């Protein structure tokens, strides 16, 4: 079946706008709305006995995995090791009995990730796979198959697959917490409630499209751009930088806000825009103090936060994007939208081939 762009200019744009629908669709197979409970696929092994999780992926899927590490450790109190597949394979990782190896992939065919999966299988790990293509090789080789229902993703730069991966991973983290007795029924209902709110929050985030298009010129002229975030929003800073690199060809780096003083702060001047991802919450003050360090050096900041955060720290920024107030748990899902839109509009301004960026492939099936 031919997939159409409809009234959208690019597939990537269409896929960004599909997110409320496909995330809702994905969540439907992991949550039960009637009793607000988690509903993960049945497995014939005991998840409560897993003693360690090893996450392996590439590209955008790897960043989804990084967010999952924060979630799994925080909720389920399970140690999580994570690596990009190309490194993992060759570093002779320690894989002890009782480990769950978790692979994340849109295509289910990425050569490095698949090789890592087979390596883990041979080493006796239980294999879980979060994958968007249900007929893919990785899907077939999984012990625990966790499909995302993003539908076919055509744009080379991944967008909707990423947020769907996050939705599944949040449900998995909470499920592991329940299995391990770290989350009671009331907390489970709360998490489910927050997840059920995600599609509406994604819709609200998409309403900033025009506003973000109007600020793209701040970035389009830049040679280098920095993205900062903390905690589960740090991987999102990495993802934001990756999106910008992929489709606009502007050099961008994502950094953990607190690590900026150990290097990248030397780059800051009025020509380096800095995108700060800072939902209000426990880490907000810390991130904002890093943002002040940027501003004190003449850095131009675009702050992505909520009403509370912008009221407190928005002054002096060249632009702000106001997200709805969301629980810190779901912030990485919702904040994905403005970083995707920003990269998209910058690429449009630069006139690049958004859906087929140079040198990149949708699925890398060679090593």
Q: Which residue is nearest to ligand G6P (CB)?
A: 59
Exposure b/e, 213-226, CB count within 10 A at least 16 = b: bebbebbbebebbb
Q: Does 61 bind ligand G6P (CB under 6 A)?
A: yes
Strand pairing of 37-38 and 31-32? antiparallel
Interface stretch with ligand G6P, choices 151-159, 177-185, 314-322, 325-333 (CB under 6 A) = 151-159
Report the residue from 19, 26, 105, 126 that binds ligand G6P according to the rule CB under 6 A: 105
CB of 168 to ligand G6P, least distance (A): 13
Structure tokens at 65: 């995995």
Residues 327-366 close enough to bind ligand G6P by CB under 6 A: 360, 362-364
Ramachandran angles phi, psi of 355, nearest 5°? -80, -25
Alpha-carbon span 173 to 185, nearest angstrom: 15
3-class SS at 132? Answer: coil
Q: Does 106 bind ligand G6P (CB under 6 A)?
A: yes
Supply the DSSP string of 155-211, one letter for each residue: SSS-SHHHHHHHHHHHHHHHHHHHHTT-S-HHHHHHHHHHHHTHHHHHHHHHTTHHH
- Catalytic residue from among 5, 286, 350, 362: 362
Alpha-carbon span 48 to 228, nearest angstrom: 35
Q: What is the CA 297 to chain-centroid distance, rounded? A: 30
Between residues 158 and 280, which has the closer beta carbon with respect to ligand G6P?
158
Interface stretch with ligand G6P, choices 67-75, 155-163, 209-217, 259-267 (CB under 6 A) = 155-163
CB atoms within 10 A of CB 2: 3
Report the residue from 148, 158, 257, 287 that binds ligand G6P according to the rule CB under 6 A: 158
Number of residues located near ligand G6P, criterion CB under 6 A: 16
Alpha-carbon span 30 to 22, nearest angstrom: 13
362 is catalytic: yes
**Binding-residue pattern over the window 206 to 225 for ligand G6P, x denoting contact by CB under 6 A:** --------------------
Q: Does 201 bind ligand G6P (CB under 6 A)?
A: no
Between residues 61 and 287, which has the closer beta carbon with respect to ligand G6P?
61
CB of 55 to ligand G6P, least distance (A): 13
Sequence-distant (6+) residues with CB within 8 A of 172 are 30, 40, 68, 72, 128, 130, 146
3-class SS at 20? Answer: helix
Q: Does 113 bind ligand G6P (CB under 6 A)?
A: yes
Interface stretch with ligand G6P, choices 150-158, 281-289, 327-335, 341-349 (CB under 6 A) = 150-158
Q: Does 257 bind ligand G6P (CB under 6 A)?
A: no
Q: Could you give the residue numbers annotated as active site?
A: 362
| Residues found near ligand G6P in the complex (CB under 6 A) | 58-61, 105-107, 110, 113, 156-158, 360, 362-364
């Amino acid at each position: 079946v031919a997939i159409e762009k409809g009234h959208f200019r690019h597939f990537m744009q269409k896929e960004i706008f599909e997110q409320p629908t496909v995330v809702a669709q994905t969540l439907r197979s992991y949550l039960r709305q009637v009793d607000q409970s988690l509903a993960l696929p049945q497995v014939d092994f005991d998840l409560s006995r897993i003693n360690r999780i090893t996450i392996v992926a590439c590209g955008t899927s790897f960043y989804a995995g990084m967010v999952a590490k924060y979630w799994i450790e925080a909720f389920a109190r399970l140690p999580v090791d994570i690596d990009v597949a190309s490194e993992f394979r060759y570093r002779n990782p320690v894989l002890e009995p009782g480990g769950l190896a978790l692979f994340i992939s849109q295509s289910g065919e990425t050569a490095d990730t698949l090789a890592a999966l087979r390596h883990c299988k041979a080493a006796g790990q239980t294999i879980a796979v979060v994958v968007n293509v249900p007929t893919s090789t990785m899907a077939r080789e999984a012990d625990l198959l966790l499909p995302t229902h993003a539908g076919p993703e055509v744009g080379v730069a991944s967008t909707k697959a990423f947020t769907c991966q996050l939705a599944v991973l949040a449900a998995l983290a909470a499920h592991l917490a329940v299995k391990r007795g770290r989350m009671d029924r009331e907390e489970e209902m709360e998490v489910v409630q927050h997840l059920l709110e995600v599609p509406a929050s994604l819709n609200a985030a998409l309403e900033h499209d025009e506003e973000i298009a109007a600020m793209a010129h701040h970035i389009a002229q830049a040679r280098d751009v920095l993205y900062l975030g903390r905690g589960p929003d740090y991987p999102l800073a990495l993802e934001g930088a990756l999106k910008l690199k992929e489709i606009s060809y502007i050099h961008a780096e994502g950094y953990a806000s607190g690590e900026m003083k150990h290097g990248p702060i030397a780059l800051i001047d009025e020509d380096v825009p800095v995108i700060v991802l800072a939902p209000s919450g426990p880490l907000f003050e810390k991130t904002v103090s890093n943002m002040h360090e940027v501003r004190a050096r003449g850095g131009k900041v675009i702050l992505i936060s909520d009403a509370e955060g912008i009221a407190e720290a928005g002054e002096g920024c060249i632009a702000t994007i106001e997200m709805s107030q969301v629980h810190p748990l779901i912030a990485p899902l919702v904040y994905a939208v403005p970083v995707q839109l920003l990269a998209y509009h910058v690429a449009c301004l630069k006139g690049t081939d958004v859906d087929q960026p140079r040198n990149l492939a949708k699925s890398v099936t060679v090593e």
